[in-house]
Amino acid sequence: MIEVDGSMMEGGGQILRMAVTYGAVLGLPVRVHSIRAGRSPPGLRPQHLATLRAVGEMCGAEIGDLEIGSTLIDFEPGPIVGGSYTFDIGTAGSIGLLLQCVAPIASYASSAVELTVRGGTAVRWSPPVRIMDRVVWRALRRMGFRGELTVQREGFYPAGGGVVHAVIRPLTKLRPFRAEPTGVASAISGYSVCGRLPRHVAERQARSASKELEAAGYEADIAVEVARRGRAPFSPGSVIGIWAESRPEIFMGSSALGERGKPAEMVGHEAAASLVEQLRTKAAVDFHTADSLVIWCSLAEGESEYSISELTMHTRTAMELARIFIEVEFALDERHEGGLILRCDGAGV
């Protein structure tokens, strides 16, 4: 059994998610202790319970101590089984984080996996689902990942209720990821959506972001959407997501959420300013995508190499977990333009 300290480094739910993902893919029993020990409140929250139950169902795992507040779990996986699954987080917990955990597992299943997940599509502390598809999953498809998703209804805090449908087919081969540092974005695409709010909220978000991007020298094409009728969210909310278009491809995205009392212009400005700042590093991968890629690169066959806009604690934590489970090594080199080159010699699982 591999034992993982859930309070190390980043100290949040990422450690738990990555540990059970590695356990399921590698067929290894895992114990995670001190789960979210430094957070308030510590231990498992509804989001984590939903993710653990989803993983457990997909691989017939035995999981001990599954209750709110638990700070220790034992996870003993079985074979990963394809088929149709429906998971309901039950809150506005992040669908994106659940998919981040189960997508590698589904890729090693015996047959295609069809997922319907209910929860939050655009919530704090995680990139919106549509940005994950446009940036992270686009990068993964370069490696041989075979996954597609659609957002059928947006879900905002506090009610959640968003619905995402995804189909993930078994890998034929997981290739290493390589992305050259070009930093040249030909244009910026994106979406600005609101639900149970006036249309002008989404329009003002898009207009503010476009103004910021164009001032930095980028053409912007941001679609404005209002979610109505069957696609209307359960709670009012808004989100803007933007990403870089380029040849050769770079994998840069950014987003911002609307909040009560926060002007829509500020929401658009935040998303655009973050993307512009990262593009200035002339890196190929944004900081959210960088940590998402680590587990895939560690499993791939061959050396991955890509430039990142920023080295976050989430990425450092992902690298440490990869070392614990499959003893891969990483190298980091500074670039004179800014950012870093990350290299990983994958284990070829």
The SS3 assignment for 347 reads strand
In 140-203, the DSSP E strands lie at 146-153, 162-169, 178-179, 187-195
CB distance 210 to 222 below 8 Å: yes
Catalytic residue IDs:
314
C-alpha separations of 217 from 135, 189, 276 in Å? 21, 14, 10
DSSP string, 296-317: HHHHSEEEEEEEES---HHHHH
pLDDT of 180: 77
State yes or no: cis peptide before 158, omega within 30 of 0: yes
Burial label for 172, CB within 10 Å (0-12, 13-18, 19+), is exposed
Of the candidates 78, 153, 164, the one whose C-alpha atom is nearest the C-alpha of residue 114 is 164
In the chain, the DSSP E strands lie at 2-5, 30-33, 62-63, 73-76, 83-88, 113-119, 146-153, 162-169, 178-179, 187-195, 220-227, 237-245, 253-257, 301-308, 330-334, 340-347
B/e letters for 46-85, b = 16+ CB within 10 Å, e = fewer, are ebbbbbbbbbbebbebebeeeeeebbebbbbbeebebeeb
Domains of the chain: 2-174+285-347 (3.65.10.20), 187-279 (3.30.360.20)
- Six-digit token string for 263: 């002007």
| Mean predicted confidence (pLDDT) in 151-163 | 96
Could you read off the pLDDT of 216-263 as tens digits, one per residue?
999 999 999 999 998 999 999 999 999 999 988 999 999 999 999 999
Alpha-carbon gap, residue 299 to 161, rounded angstroms: 33
pLDDT of 14: 96
Could you read off the pLDDT of 63-108 as tens digits, one per residue?
987 999 999 999 999 999 999 999 999 989 999 999 999 999 999 9
19 phi, psi to nearest 5 deg: -60, -45
Residue 5 predicted with pLDDT over 90: yes
CB distance 306 to 274 below 8 Å: no
- CA torsion sign, 2 to 61 to 84 to 67? negative
| Mean predicted confidence (pLDDT) in 210-215 | 97
pLDDT of 181: 67
What is the pTM assigned to this prediction?
0.96
Band the pLDDT of 336: cuts 50, 70, 90: low
Interacting residues of 307 by C-beta distance below 8 A, sequence separation 6+ = 179, 180, 181, 281, 282, 283, 284, 285, 335, 339, 340, 341, 342
Q: How many CA atoms, within 13 angstroms, populate the side-chain half-sphere of residue 169?
A: 6
pLDDT of 64: 85
Alpha-carbon gap, residue 157 to 182, rounded angstroms: 37
pLDDT of 182: 66
C-alpha separations of 86 from 128, 147, 161 in Å? 20, 16, 13
Could you read off the pLDDT of 114-138 as tens digits, one per residue?
999 999 999 998 999 999 999 999 9
First CA to last CA distance, the chain: 19
Alpha-carbon gap, residue 265 to 205, rounded angstroms: 5
pLDDT of 186: 83
Could you read off the pLDDT of 258-311 as tens digits, one per residue?
999 999 999 999 999 999 999 998 999 999 999 999 999 999 999 999 999 999
Region for 260 from its dihedrals, namely left if φ exceeds 0, alpha if ψ lies in -120 to 50, beta otherwise: beta
Alpha-carbon gap, residue 313 to 311, rounded angstroms: 7
Could you read off the pLDDT of 19-47 as tens digits, one per residue?
999 999 999 999 999 999 999 999 999 99
Alpha-carbon gap, residue 107 to 128, rounded angstroms: 21
- CA torsion sign, 319 to 322 to 324 to 326? negative
